[in-house]
Amino acid sequence: MEPIVVCHLGVGSSALEDPVKAGLLDALARDAALAGYDILSPGNDGNALDAVERAVNVLEDSGIVNAGLGAIRQTDGVQRRDASIMDGSTLACGAVSSLEGIKNAVSVARRLLHYSSLNEKQEGKQGCNFYFCGYFVDEIFKIHREVIPDSWRVAGGRKSLDGNATNIADSNGDITGKEGAGGGEGENDQGGDLTGGDTVGAVAMDARGNLAAATSTGGTRGSYPGRIGDSPVIGAGTYANRHCAVSNTGRGECILKMVAAKRACDIVALEGMNAMLAVDKMHREHDSMFPGNASRIGTIAIDASGNWTACFNGARMAWAVVTPTARFHGQLPGEKESF
């Protein structure tokens, strides 16, 4: 099979008017897809799980999307991050929510996937302990005689697209600084947007035909501490099996209610549709269940035959795909350009 990596930077309700900001998001999508694909290139011969983790790490480290360094703050002024990752060949998965002080939430989720796999082998318990709330994650690492690497940790506020720190909590816990333009999960109900991109994700297929998916987010602005959406929930924000791999972005509560990622994979498996047709059908079901602009959704997916899609119902979603023979990216509806 030919390796493929697709990534997204979140769905938004309005197009970015600043071409510089839009260009930075386009460039970041391309960089993330290329980084993930490099893991799968013939010289490296990596696996799909490594590829999606690497692609999402690039996005988390950027500071201009609502994940990792750029995570928005909840009402108490604290950045909390959610992430999940899934191996389609084994159904092994890892997920974490409300993670504080750690930018690379998807890498923590990847280690939880590894630990749960060890538990299966050692204790004969299928799929045990793959999901944890952030406050106990350090203890889980200690149980397995590991520590969370300092390179995954972070302190301070998020960055704006010009690279300056913003959204820093003051001494009273109030959020100060610029609140720019973004979309999707990071939007609040009053219409305020993020400076750049939103929830991020990646899907991949390696040369052996194995599929994987990963999603990472900082959640929804204005939410109370501890709120989680679809991103860390296996089957909602992220799902992968031997038929399809999916990462979603959008209004988390709606995506949760229809178990959207699993639904797309089921359409591929049970109805024989390719990834593009399956995601289109899932989106139509989503729009029927949750009509109106508040229920935005964006999806990237790859099926076992190598068909891929990047589909969204909002005004924009930066995305990119890399294959051995083609590289495409886009941000606006219908946009697909080579790079």
Q: Measure the CA–CA gap between 159 and 62, rounded to whole angstroms.
A: 8
Helix (H) / strand (E) containing 114: helix 105-123
**198 near 68, Cβ under 8 Å?**
no
**Could you write out the DSSP letters of every residue in 278-301?**
HHHHHHHHHHHHS-STT--EEEEE
Residues 219 and 246: their CA atoms lie apart, in Å, by 19
Q: Residue 191 region, left (φ>0) first, then alpha (ψ -120 to 50), else beta?
A: left
Q: Which two tokens stand for residue 11?
A: 């769905």
Work out the end-to-end distance of the chain between its first and last CA atoms, rounded to an integer number of angstroms: 22
Distance, in Å, from the CA atom of 84 to the CA atom of 93, rounded to the nearest integer, reads: 7
Report the distance separating Cα 110 and Cα 54, nearest Å.
Answer: 11
C-alpha distances (whole Å) from 150 to each of 104, 153, 154, 164, 258 are: 10, 5, 8, 22, 37
**Tokens coding 230:** 């679809």
Active site residue 199: yes
The active-site residue out of 199, 215, 220, 299 is 199
Active site residues: 199
